Structure 1
């Protein structure tokens, strides 16, 4: 991969006067699209690492911005429950429909049993068997970019690699994967739940019925014929878990696209990687830390607990801001520097504890395959227009990264 244009390095945020004073600032999606949330998180880590936000459109909640506090919450599901929802949502919408039913929204011991139905499709052996498929997907998307002379790093590259892979794992036939890609794109761009998309849900109802009648070697069949506590999953649980898995590809595509953007914006680090392929694993971890595509995760306290001198009551909502933890100055040396050789790099981009990302191996291999193919191919990439960032408090990264693409000379 050759970079034809050098872009501005992310500025180091300054800690100014209290930026959290204006109600709703941190939960304003526009801040994350066009503002500087890192400046706020940096101020909070120093001055108010456990910060109370009163109820408004969203429920009242506590913000945690320091690495150790975030990690402690992730590793204590008995005190900080996922079963009532893991994302901030307006009070008017009520409880998350997946509460207590999906992998992301359950606690042990049910979480462990549900995870057991899916784990074999994401372990090292399974991902290794998928490498050929993923490599072909990477090559096909890049070849199409070369043919057209242009592409978007998000929609044309990262999204397709991520979506086609999870579709194959679930058991969506190849001829239907483009429809799944289009449905998911419509929802992601509109910030709507996939569960509200009639085409998406109708398709999975039909596919679930097929797999129930005639199981095949795929994850959907495992869900349709698996049991938790000796009982089969309900149809709603099966469908919501499929929706959850497809929805999680948004994080995967954002990490891939934002990682590519990070390398374009830091050509010296790209040159290091090109010169020393042994840095690929470390570069993948740094991309995950740097991009931190999951902006926040929420838990509900099950008992009174003290954090940083503040008493959290049972029933209180606790929100961990993952990008902030991954820039914590007490854990990461020079955290606002993108360093493909960074080690150690114990980031929290894939969570920790019981809810450590089930697709972590898959995410790392996809990054490695994309970077390897770009470096090996000699394809030249140049940013051809402004980056548009997502207006969201749930996920972080680019909505669009327009690129010119040239065949190797």
Structure 2
């Protein structure tokens, strides 16, 4: 029996949202890394694709944007859904020169100077949000804390008027966390429709915000079409909120499940927080997979990948590869080095990485300062998505920290 045949049942399980809702796809990835790290999956509901589970091959693919293109989509889509509407139109789903133009326009907003200007806002918002939760004594951490701060920041960057933000919060929460696919889809359509109106407004009256920047981007001598700008705004909203929310909530649950690590972080926050955040990102790996399409014949892990073949990189598996991480199934807030791939690598490395880390740090700082004890107030619920890995809900009971002095 070939390695490909051995891997097929495991790949099929990884294409089932129930695997992630149960919370332990790691056994499947471990078996695939050992038996068939580069394995072909025949087309059925999804198109045929090569499944990559080892760190080395995944890093090779992500770093070689010339041989492995992003322009046809970066997520597995059922064949019935057709092509990704963002293909070759958004920052994440484009190759140079379009990707270069879009990234150049956006990257300045995430420069250290702008992030330093945000630090007071981040600290104040985190402090007030956590204080309110501690005062009540309980919180639904995913929606009430982990989603709140990044959404406030992205709304500020996009220049969404204060009076519109409650609607964006409602739609975003439904788009990410609603119980049914229909509810999530309807909320997403509301977001797209909202951005269409906002982009037209900013083209007429530009402001000092990312929507105005995107509305003014020119490619090959012409402004980006309205739909392209709308899709990029939507991607910034999703990318700037979803991954932070999932990493923050999954990381907090890991600290709850590993009280010794929580104690380490609380005892020496300044010395430990940066490595703790990297470990939270590795541990949660909120983007379960990312896809690329081969532009030429190439060999990966002893297998011949043909031009046009789809390649699926299981990022969560790469971040548990024992060839690169000592005791990869241990959660260690002092882990170093920690060269995880949770936020990608190469030319498509997440443009908002430093902002995401600052947001997580702000919430962790307030939790270590304000919370004396935290415990579950119910059963956490996981998402049943094959796209993102993490929690739909994390109900907590909180007691205030003892006053000092």
Matches within 5 A, 1:157-172: 157-172=145-160
Tell whether 2:197 aligns with 1:206.
Answer: yes
How many residues are aligned here?
393
Q: Pick from 320, 323, 333: which aligns with 2:316?
A: 323
Q: Pick from 267, 270, 274: which aligns with 1:275?
A: 267
Please identify which structure carries the higher helix content: 2
Structure 2: distance between partners of 1:230 and 1:353: 27
Q: What is aligned with 1:64?
A: 52
For structure 1, the 5+ residue unaligned runs are 1-16
Tell whether 2:39 aligns with 1:51.
Answer: yes
Tell whether 2:134 aligns with 1:142.
Answer: no
Q: Pick from 63, 66, 90: which aligns with 1:78?
A: 66
Q: What is aligned with 1:231?
A: 222
Structure 2: distance between partners of 1:304 and 1:123: 37
Contact 1:254 1:397 in 2 (8 A): yes
Q: What is aligned with 1:131?
A: 119
Contact 1:194 1:201 in 2 (8 A): no
Q: 1:258 to 1:34 in 2, by over 3 A?
A: same
Contact 2:86 2:231 in 1 (8 A): yes
- For the aligned residue pairs, the C-alpha RMSD in angstroms reads 1.7
The 3-state SS of whatever aligns with 1:24 is helix
For structure 2, the 5+ residue unaligned runs are none
CA shift digits 1:82-112 (9 cap, x unpaired): 0000000110110000000000100122211
Q: What is aligned with 1:8?
A: none
Q: Pick from 221, 236, 248: which aligns with 1:245?
A: 236
Cα deviation for residue 191 of structure 1 reads: 4.8
Structure 1: distance between partners of 2:256 and 2:338: 21
Q: What is aligned with 1:176?
A: 164
Q: What is aligned with 1:355?
A: 348
Q: What is aligned with 1:13?
A: none
Structure 1: distance between partners of 2:203 and 2:11: 49
CA shift digits 1:302-322 (9 cap, x unpaired): 111111111111111100000
Structure 2: distance between partners of 1:322 and 1:84: 19
Runs of 4+ in 1 over 3 A off after TM superposition: 17-20, 190-198
Structure 1: distance between partners of 2:34 and 2:267: 38
Contact 2:87 2:94 in 1 (8 A): yes
Q: What is aligned with 2:249?
A: 257
Structure 1: distance between partners of 2:348 and 2:11: 31
Question: Scaled by the length of structure 1, what TM-score is found?
Answer: 0.92
Question: Scaled by the length of structure 2, what TM-score is found?
Answer: 0.93
Contact 2:371 2:398 in 1 (8 A): no
The 3-state SS of whatever aligns with 2:12 is coil
Structure 2: distance between partners of 1:23 and 1:408: 46
Q: What is aligned with 2:296?
A: 303
Contact 2:244 2:360 in 1 (8 A): no
The 3-state SS of whatever aligns with 1:320 is strand
Structure 2: distance between partners of 1:181 and 1:171: 14
